[in-house]
Amino acid sequence: MASAGREEHANGPLAEGGRDALREMLVIAAPAAASMLSFALMQFVDRLLCSRLISPEALMAAGNGGIAAWVPSSVVMGALGVVNTYVSQNLGAGRAERGPAYAWAGIWIAMVAWALVLLPFAVAFPWVYDAMRSALGLPGVSEHVRHMEAMYGRIMLGGTVLTLGARSLGHYFYGMHRPGIVLGSTIGGNAVNLVVSVALVLWAMGREDLAPEPRATLALAGAAAGTVVGTLVECAIPLVVFLSPAFNRKYATRASWRPSSATMRDIWRIGWPGGVMFGNEMVCWWIFMGGFVAAFDRGAAQAVHGPAGWITHQYLMLSFMPAVGISIATTAVVGRCIGAGRHDLAASRTWLGLRLTLTYMGACALAFIIFGPSMAMPFLPEGVSAEQGARIIELTRWMLVLAATFQLFDGMAITISGALRGAGDTVWPGVVTIFMSWGLIVGGGWLAVNFLPGLESYGPWAAASAYIITLSLLLLWRFLGGKWRSIRVLRDPVAGEGVEGGHPVLASDPGPGALAMAPGLDIPADPPPLRGVENRA
């Protein structure tokens, strides 16, 4: 009966408003937000293990290594977000059988990117970090932290193909309005991650035959390996459901497994700006955390600014990751509304999603201000010196106050970008994000480090706050401008159209006026060839 209810929701008529609209949104948003929160909690526990059981320097190394590993991965991750757009709009248009082709295309894109980009990046990992710090004239970290962050990043990059595959499948199920499958896989993967990571970290820290630094390095490698094993489970669960006889009978999910250059081009056609935007943003945050914030430790054996920054980041994840879940739901619901030709409902669902996000992130902002002084304490190991511990607590407290100032704006940016993505409006947000992130996160952070050193690491955090506030207002202005209402993502049905081998096919080349159209550009229905085009997840 529960399954039948989900099918009725996914394929039934759209709610006009009121409680039915809220229920329709929550059916996707609640599991999606819970899934993102589950992921954030697992990251939180991972970092807590690194700090409590190993050292604050291990926390810093895991953060630095993890975010650098995300830089090349995030380009593909951002592009794959439009799998949700294609699947949800096809669902709304009554052509759900076209969705699996996009999930498979995302998996193939992930494997190609992993082999050609991510593995070579893993080999060059430590030198990439050195080059970034040298180019910006920033002091490096201690040799021990440098070794640990490179090792952690390389292990994470080795398992990234699983992460990307899980994301492609996850966006398929979000687009099909079946978020419970993603939630189940995330919880299952996180549970395995926790068990394996704790076991490996405790085993490594019990190696009395090793000196403290090699023991810490081995323990951090165990934490990274546990994450990869958990990701394997997170990818396997939706894959099993996707290939199940029930799904295959209803949507022919096994038919489109072969690589399709046309379907992959569809993803890149409107997904590349999202990939560039997400990748660019991750580069800027990598420079921010691994460069500017860490610079104030100046290679000290007992770091304080880096650990405090990463503690703050863990609490920020607990705040914005559920908002990302609501954004994913907004993308799916807006996409379905537009696929059904109901732009009015797409707008109302956006405001509904925004209200949900602002309620949650507003509560988080209050928590940061009220409980900030005590939030760093769980991350401090028993052996930390009184001076180092007190300094980390003080830095974390005021970093959280700065973070509280942009919580509502961050929620607005995340939700509005999800709505624009659901409509296919991804070029303009991508370009604006690139300019704003380099101008404020990197430019403002660099100015703070070099010309306002008395502010310490609070200076770069203030620049990051200015970036999020400015970006959110620009995205709101874009949405209110209504350009997204004129964008076409799906081809119109024509005679001879069908599905061949699981791939959408047309009687003739759609030409530049159909899917080849560049979303986000105000152009006529049959334009000359133009390029085509997203945020954070």
- What is the 3-state secondary structure of 53-108? HHCHHHHHHHHHHHHHHHHHHHHHHHHHCHHHHHHHHHHHCCCHHHHHHHHHHHHH
CB 422 within 8 A of CB 334: yes
pLDDT in tens, 456-487: 999 999 999 999 999 999 999 999 998 988 88
Cα gap 7→329, rounded to integer Å: 17
Q: Is 368 helix (H, G, I), strand (E, B) or coil?
A: helix
- CA-based torsion, 82, 88, 94, 99: positive or negative: positive
128: its two tokens: 């990439």
What DSSP element (H or E) covers 324?
Answer: helix 305-339
pLDDT band with cut points at 50, 70 and 90 for residue 126 = confident
pLDDT at residue 491 greater than cutoff 80: no
pLDDT band with cut points at 50, 70 and 90 for residue 301 = low
Check residue 507 and give its pLDDT.
Answer: 31
pLDDT at residue 434 greater than cutoff 50: yes
pLDDT at residue 6 greater than cutoff 60: no
Residues constituting the chain? 537
CB 232 within 8 A of CB 159: yes
CB 159 within 8 A of CB 231: yes
User: Which amino acid, residue 420?
Assistant: L
CB 332 within 8 A of CB 28: yes
pLDDT at residue 505 greater than cutoff 80: no
- How many CA within 13 A on the CB side of residue 471? 35
Check residue 46 and give its pLDDT.
Answer: 83
pLDDT at residue 509 greater than cutoff 80: no
CB 424 within 8 A of CB 270: yes
CB 62 within 8 A of CB 223: yes
Check residue 473 and give its pLDDT.
Answer: 97
**Residue indicated by tokens 């809220």:** 22
% of the chain surpassing 90 pLDDT: 47
Listing DSSP states for 375-405 in one string gives HTGGG--TT--HHHHHHHHHHHHHHHHHHHH
Which of the pair, 18 or 3, is modelled with greater confidence?
18
pLDDT at residue 300 greater than cutoff 80: no
Least confident segment among 203-212, 324-333, 379-388, 514-523: 514-523
Over residues 228-257, mean pLDDT: 94
Q: How many CB atoms are located within 10 Å of the residue 7 CB? A: 14
Q: Is 273 helix (H, G, I), strand (E, B) or coil?
A: helix
CB 224 within 8 A of CB 43: no
Check residue 17 and give its pLDDT.
Answer: 57
pLDDT band with cut points at 50, 70 and 90 for residue 520 = very low
Check residue 531 and give its pLDDT.
Answer: 29
pLDDT at residue 331 greater than cutoff 50: yes
pLDDT in tens, 18-49: 677 788 888 888 887 887 887 788 788 888 88
pLDDT band with cut points at 50, 70 and 90 for residue 492 = low
212: its two tokens: 């403290």
pLDDT band with cut points at 50, 70 and 90 for residue 383 = confident
End-to-end CA distance of the chain: 32
Over residues 310-315, mean pLDDT: 93
Give me the chain's average pLDDT, please: 84
What DSSP element (H or E) covers 316?
Answer: helix 305-339
Listing DSSP states for 429-470 in one string gives HHHHHHHHIIIIIIHHHHHHHHH-GGGTTHHHHHHHHHHHHH
Check residue 494 and give its pLDDT.
Answer: 47
pTM, entire model: 0.76
Check residue 337 and give its pLDDT.
Answer: 86
Residues contacting residue 256 through CB under 8 Å, at least 6 positions apart: 100, 101, 104, 263, 501, 502, 503
pLDDT at residue 525 greater than cutoff 50: no
244: its two tokens: 């199940």
Over residues 224-253, mean pLDDT: 94
**Residue indicated by tokens 């949700």:** 84
pLDDT band with cut points at 50, 70 and 90 for residue 493 = low
Which of the pair, 45 or 317, is modelled with greater confidence?
317
% of the chain surpassing 70 pLDDT: 87
Check residue 129 and give its pLDDT.
Answer: 84
Check residue 536 and give its pLDDT.
Answer: 36
pLDDT band with cut points at 50, 70 and 90 for residue 521 = very low
